[in-house]
């Protein structure tokens, strides 16, 4: 379907992988990404990790009330951002998609401003933290209820099909969302309508503290696609390039009118579900450590090193640049100031009703 790469087989027994854990290329086709694209792909992965760790520190400092750690999820998130047409296709992310929105092009100052609810927040401080959105990039604002964003994502995809523009919708969620009624109603409708949408499940094996085997009896999440008449792909989510090629193929498949697909990326959440969660109560340290050995950043760096594209000096320089960029973005977000109270009345009515205008004016 895509020139230069083969079609992947759905419902495979093993997760699809293209990079070995020592960094060797194991794909059966030649790479279509050039050296510069590979290096920038790695930069997006690292920048997302650095930002995630920075947001956790800001939360501990009391500058952010809530954060949903995303370290370990970078592979599929950056892959989604690189598989869509920015500003044309539509994204319906969930609260752990920090890497996705960053790689898509949402400025770090906006992300931090949204987390802090400052004037740098395009949502005007009216969302809880970790609820990104972008009108310019067609990123639907994240919603807190699990799976509630999947139905409107399907509705948007059907609209795109009716308009015949060739645009695609991608929606992301954790595996816990596939236990919700909203998921099943939405994916069923997408299958029946042949909607141009890709469902990307980031399966980190825990719905907060509930392990995978207590969430579902399905052998994997991709298998659920059979019931809805679409292909289901299981991919090694710690392999960034496998995520990219599989998701890109699913997106282009949808763009060509073939219909929806479900992609399950097996990832791991290194941190807790949120600051209110003590993950040491439900998962052993040995398990976390074993997944750290499969870290997507380490695997991608080894891949670049084996191709002679990366060394310690480049790593040091890149990390210093990222740290400085993000440090300035945090300063910018903080310096923009608190959101004015009267902003809560904006963007609801074209003409503010008299009683609300009176309330707004009473704020002084």
φ, ψ for residue 141, nearest 5 deg: -60, 135
Share of the chain above pLDDT 90, in %: 92
Which residues participate in catalysis according to the annotation?
Answer: 269, 273, 282
Share of the chain above pLDDT 70, in %: 98
- Span 331-342, average pLDDT: 95
Residue 206 pLDDT: 96
**What separation in angstroms does the CA of 104 have from each of 42, 164, 203?**
14, 24, 21
The answer to whether residues 162 and 126 touch, using CB atoms and an 8 Å cutoff, is no
User: How confident is the model over 36-90, as pLDDT tens digits?
Assistant: 999 999 999 999 999 999 999 999 999 999 999 999 999 999 999 999 999 999 9
Q: Give 92's pLDDT tier (boundaries 50, 70, 90).
A: very high
Residue 315 pLDDT: 98
User: How confident is the model over 25-39, as pLDDT tens digits?
Assistant: 999 999 999 999 999
Q: Does residue 2 surpass a pLDDT of 70? A: no
- Span 204-218, average pLDDT: 95
- Span 190-209, average pLDDT: 97
Encoded tokens for 231: 């292909």
Q: Does residue 5 surpass a pLDDT of 80? A: no
Q: Does residue 1 surpass a pLDDT of 60? A: no
Q: Give 363's pLDDT tier (boundaries 50, 70, 90).
A: confident
- Span 93-101, average pLDDT: 97
User: How confident is the model over 261-279, as pLDDT tens digits?
Assistant: 999 999 999 999 999 999 9
Sequence-distant (≥ 6) Cβ neighbours of residue 52 within 8 angstroms: 69, 70, 71, 98, 99, 271
Sequence-distant (≥ 6) Cβ neighbours of residue 38 within 8 angstroms: 31, 303, 304, 307, 309
- Whole-model pTM: value is 0.95
User: How confident is the model over 272-316, as pLDDT tens digits?
Assistant: 999 999 999 999 999 999 999 999 999 999 999 999 999 999 999
In the block, which residue shows the tokens 């060394």? 311
Sequence-distant (≥ 6) Cβ neighbours of residue 170 within 8 angstroms: 80, 83, 84, 89, 90, 91, 92, 197, 198, 200, 247, 251
Sequence-distant (≥ 6) Cβ neighbours of residue 183 within 8 angstroms: 147, 150, 173, 177
Distance (Å, whole) CA 158 – CA 163? 9
């Amino acid at each position: 379907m895509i020139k230069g790469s083969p079609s992947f087989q759905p419902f495979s027994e093993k997760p699809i992988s293209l990079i070995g854990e020592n960094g060797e290329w194991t794909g059966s086709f030649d790479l279509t990404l050039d050296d510069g694209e590979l290096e920038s792909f790695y930069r997006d992965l690292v920048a997302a990790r650095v930002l995630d760790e920075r947001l956790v520190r800001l939360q501990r400092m009391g500058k952010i009330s809530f954060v949903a750690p995303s370290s370990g999820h970078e592979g599929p998130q950056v892959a989604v951002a690189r598989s869509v047409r920015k500003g044309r296709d539509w994204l319906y992310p969930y609260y752990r998609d920090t890497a996705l929105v960053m790689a898509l092009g949402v400025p770090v100052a906006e992300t931090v401003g949204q987390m802090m609810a400052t004037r740098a927040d395009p949502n005007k401080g009216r969302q809880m933290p970790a609820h990104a959105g972008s009108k310019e990039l067609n990123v639907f604002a994240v919603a807190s209820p699990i799976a509630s964003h999947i139905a409107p994502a399907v509705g948007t995809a059907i609209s795109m099909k009716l308009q015949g523009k060739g645009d695609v919708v991608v929606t992301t969620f954790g595996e816990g969302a596939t236990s919700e009624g909203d998921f099943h109603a939405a994916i069923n409708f997408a299958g029946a309508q042949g909607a141009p949408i890709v469902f990307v499940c980031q399966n980190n094996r825990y719905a907060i503290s509930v392990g995978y085997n207590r969430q579902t009896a399905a052998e994997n999440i991709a298998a659920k696609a059979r019931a809805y008449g679409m292909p289901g792909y299981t991919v090694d989510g710690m392999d960034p390039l496998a995520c990219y090629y599989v998701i890109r193929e699913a997106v282009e498949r949808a763009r060509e009118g073939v219909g929806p697909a479900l992609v399950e990326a097996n990832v791991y959440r290194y941190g807790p579900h949120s600051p209110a969660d003590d993950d040491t109560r439900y998962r052993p340290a040995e398990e976390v450590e074993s997944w750290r050995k499969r870290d997507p950043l380490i695997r991608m760096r080894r891949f670049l090193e084996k191709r002679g594209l990366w060394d310690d000096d480049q790593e040091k320089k890149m990390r210093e640049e990222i740290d400085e960029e993000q440090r300035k973005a945090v300063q910018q977000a903080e310096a923009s100031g608190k959101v004015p109270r009267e902003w809560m009345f904006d963007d609801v009515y074209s003409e503010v009703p008299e009683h609300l205008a009176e309330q707004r004016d009473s704020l002084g």
